[in-house]
Amino acid sequence: MKQIRGGVTAPKGFTASGIHVGIRKNREKKDLALIWSAKPCSAAAVYTTNIVIGQPLIVTKEHLADGMAQAIIVNSGNANTCTGEQGIAAARRMAALVAEKLPVSPKDVVVASTGVIGQQLDVSVIEAGMDALVAGLSKTGNIDAREAIMTTDTVKKEVTIQFEIDGAIITIGAMAKGSGMIHPNMATMLSFITTDCAISSAMLQKALDESVKRTYNRVSVDGDTSTNDMVVILANGEAGNKIISEDGPAYREFYDALNWLDTQLARMIAKDGEGATKLIECTVEGAADEDKAEQLAKGVICSSLVKTAFFGADANWGRILCALGYTRKDFDPNKVDVAFESASGYIDVCKNGAPLPFSEEKAKKILSYQEVTVYVGLNEGDAQATAWGCDLSYEYVRINGDYRT
Amino acid sequence: MKQIRGGVTAPKGFTASGIHVGIRKNREKKDLALIWSAKPCSAAAVYTTNIVIGQPLIVTKEHLADGMAQAIIVNSGNANTCTGEQGIAAARRMAALVAEKLPVSPKDVVVASTGVIGQQLDVSVIEAGMDALVAGLSKTGNIDAREAIMTTDTVKKEVTIQFEIDGAIITIGAMAKGSGMIHPNMATMLSFITTDCAISSAMLQKALDESVKRTYNRVSVDGDTSTNDMVVILANGEAGNKIISEDGPAYREFYDALNWLDTQLARMIAKDGEGATKLIECTVEGAADEDKAEQLAKGVICSSLVKTAFFGADANWGRILCALGYTRKDFDPNKVDVAFESASGYIDVCKNGAPLPFSEEKAKKILSYQEVTVYVGLNEGDAQATAWGCDLSYEYVRINGDYRT
């Protein structure tokens, strides 16, 4: 497997486009994206678990009920959520506008929105921009599309990989956005994945479900599960491999590649958390089972007090034990070990739930790096899990204190 | 019922004291407190639900197993938590030191600690200060004691009330601390309550359990449930009322008074949350049952995005619907109403889950006050519940970025 360039347009048969139509006031910021496959695709998706869900998700769920899709239209600047019937009509209109310009049924168009909740979306500006959007579709359109879906993101999130299945070269490309309102137990933030692999909708959904659980759902920025999260994958089969329609070596190769790509995107989203200065990776090892390890790792990366301590590069490991404890998962606090690692080095700070003497200076240096790993050893079994979060900084407060105005 | 002065020493037969012994480096800050009852007391307590619990709680649970106590010793500056057997010995030694100086068994001494987790507590400085601590016991010692238990608190938290049961004048006094590492589903932060009411341990525990659920457990500052939370109440019977040993009018009067006092302390703790500039009170009304109303109200006051919006006085009500939704409680988003109120006025912002036109200027003015109420109407039943939180500010990040160092 190798990493290449190209994002969602790298797989055969996909083009994309991104433009500014005026949903956002800032004319420098693109706010509408389109992904198009020349051929109909197997499609799979995972959505937010929030009870309040965005109007675009209601429409997209209907459209993907048959496991097929051919286009994705996404706007940023307005989430089109808590907008009632008027908002559902707006989401349907977005799909219809694509079908008016391209040879596709509205039922094969995925609709997504991200931005402020509780304001009606003005579809007339999207309608006015449709000719330019469709005219812009190209093999390098990934560059504009990945920018058009960003909100408070400071980094473009794109990963592209290539690998072989039975001699056929398969490409998977993806773009994601996500920086705030991000929390485990969701489906996920927005992530759009394309591939030319030939795979059935059912196996595509299975691979996506399995991977989302181990990647996006182990990320938290602020504990707020969005109303609009979704991951969508389209597979148009142009790579020419024998179609994957059951579990087996080909499915496993596809899953491993997809999971690797999703892991990279998950880490990018955590590292680019609103106001974040660093990525916090927490690996819980020696657990009796993976589920427990996952819940405990999430507990650590979600703790406001752990997050602020990392912002201050303060080796306050007591807060890590405190966070493990309030997950209420059953473990023996007197067997817990804690260590920190970064590019600067490694340090043990807690053994059997009690303090170890350590160099504050060395710990400070390790915690000052942009990517820091916390190792938690439970010493009760062989399972492990990793979760990704970020520190909590002044910037997070500034960004969110006046997001709307 | 009336409010009076005097705190934990206001009920007959109680004295208190507070001094600096050197657990904290800052000599201006008192760090050791003692509460003493001349007569043995019925006692009840509620503790943190964290799996990792402080060493003092392990010892206090043993000591209160018989429902009796006569003294409370508390230090700030070190939580004596994640400190292993050495920490348990330190907590036992604190109780023994009280028993060496006063006519009480170590088993009737409550021990509590608050401060940094994961550092051994130096009991020698407490031992050196015991003569001064005991000599300081007085009817005005509440003033020093309430200061000695503070950590990042900026406000002293004390409430005292008087009321009658069957002609006997009953007094309840309390002091609490709590500013960070505070989150619902805990027992609570530190709160010490004294009363001269005659009441059995069993009824005292029942009243405390019932009230904690409706007060302290509906507060959140930062989502972190501490390892050292406890509420303790001592009742020495000196008011001379007929002992309350069963449910009935006298118990109900006592419960109502205790619950009123606990509500005031809970609001004080939320308002004095680390870095907070305002109290956020969320009342969920029209719910099918109180439990659902409680979970939803907590969801709102715990959301980082709601908290930062309030810091910025931004009427971003979409984040409130989002927070309600990810509690996963079953309700109809299309029936939800939202309104804001403060000393400045009242404003409706959302009706049936969709936006209402409103004056941004008026909303900003309402949200700029120090105490703001969010009303959420579910329009499905008659139950309601209120939870208390605070905004998330730059100060929270500053305080917790370098708490230890």
CB contact under 8 A, B303 and A224: yes
User: How far is residue A79's CA from residue A101's CA, in Å, rounded to a whole number?
Assistant: 24
CB contact under 8 A, A401 and B314: yes
CB contact under 8 A, A118 and B317: yes
E strands, B21-65, where?
32-47
- Our answer to whether residue B188 is catalytic in this structure is yes
Q: CB-based contact (8 Å) between B226 and chain A?
A: yes
Q: What is the dihedral of CA B241, B243, B246, B248, to 10 degrees?
A: -10
User: How far is residue B405's CA from residue B399's CA, in Å, rounded to a whole number?
Assistant: 11
Q: Which of B52, B181, B401 sits opposite A324 (nearest CB)?
A: B52
ipTM (interface pTM): 0.73
Mean pLDDT of all residues in A251-256: 94
Q: Looking at beta carbons, which residues of chain A come within 8 Å of B224?
A: 303-305, 319, 322-323, 326
CB B222 within 8 A of CB B182: yes
User: To the nearest whole number, what is the mean pLDDT of chain A?
Assistant: 90
A2-271 and A279-401 agree in CATH topology: no
pLDDT band at A117 (very low <50, low <70, confident <90, very high): confident
Predicted TM-score (pTM) of the model is: 0.78
User: How far is residue B391's CA from residue A63's CA, in Å, rounded to a whole number?
Assistant: 40
Question: Measured on CA atoms in the order A362, B22, B15, B105, is the torsion positive or negative?
Answer: positive
Mean pLDDT per 10-residue run, chain B (405 residues)? 91 96 90 95 87 90 94 93 92 98 97 88 97 97 94 84 92 84 54 93 93 86 75 91 95 93 87 86 95 93 89 90 86 93 93 91 94 96 93 83 63
> For A288-336, how does the pLDDT look when each residue is reduced to its tens digit (9 = 90+)?
999 999 999 999 998 888 998 899 899 989 889 888 988 878 899 889 9
Q: Which residues of A, range 275-314, sit inside 8 Å of B by Cβ? A: 302-305, 308-309, 311-312, 314
Q: CB-based contact (8 Å) between A361 and chain B?
A: no
Q: CB-based contact (8 Å) between B326 and chain A?
A: yes
Q: Which of B322, B397, B402 sits opposite A227 (nearest CB)?
A: B322
Sequence spans of domains, chain B: 2-271, 279-401
DSSP string, B314-367: ---THHHHHHHHHT-----GGG-EEEEEETTEEEEEEETTEE----HHHHHHHH
CB B383 within 8 A of CB B287: yes
Strand order in the sheet with A383-390: A354-355, A345-351, A337-342, A371-377, A279-287, A383-390
CB contact under 8 A, B117 and A50: no
Q: Which of A224, A326, A394 sits opposite B50 (nearest CB)?
A: A326
Q: Looking at beta carbons, which residues of chain B come within 8 Å of A308?
A: 396-397, 399-401, 403
| Mutation site, B226, B305, B392, interface A, largest A CB count within 10 A | B305
Residue A404: its pLDDT value, please?
A: 58
The listed CATH number (3.30.2130.10, 3.10.20.340, 1.10.3720.10, 2.60.40.1180) that belongs to domain B279-401? 3.10.20.340
To 10 degrees, what angle do helices A201-214 and A249-271 make? 40
Mean pLDDT of all residues in A206-210: 92
pLDDT band at A186 (very low <50, low <70, confident <90, very high): very low
Residue B328: its pLDDT value, please?
A: 79
Q: Which amino acid is at A257?
A: A
Chains A & B: contacts with CB separation below 8 Å: 232
Q: CB-based contact (8 Å) between B55 and chain A?
A: no
The listed CATH number (3.60.70.12, 3.50.40.10, 3.40.630.40, 3.40.630.30) that belongs to domain B2-271? 3.60.70.12
CB contact under 8 A, B401 and A330: no
User: How far is residue B42's CA from residue B196's CA, in Å, rounded to a whole number?
Assistant: 10
**DSSP category for residue B107:** G
Residue B23: its pLDDT value, please?
A: 94
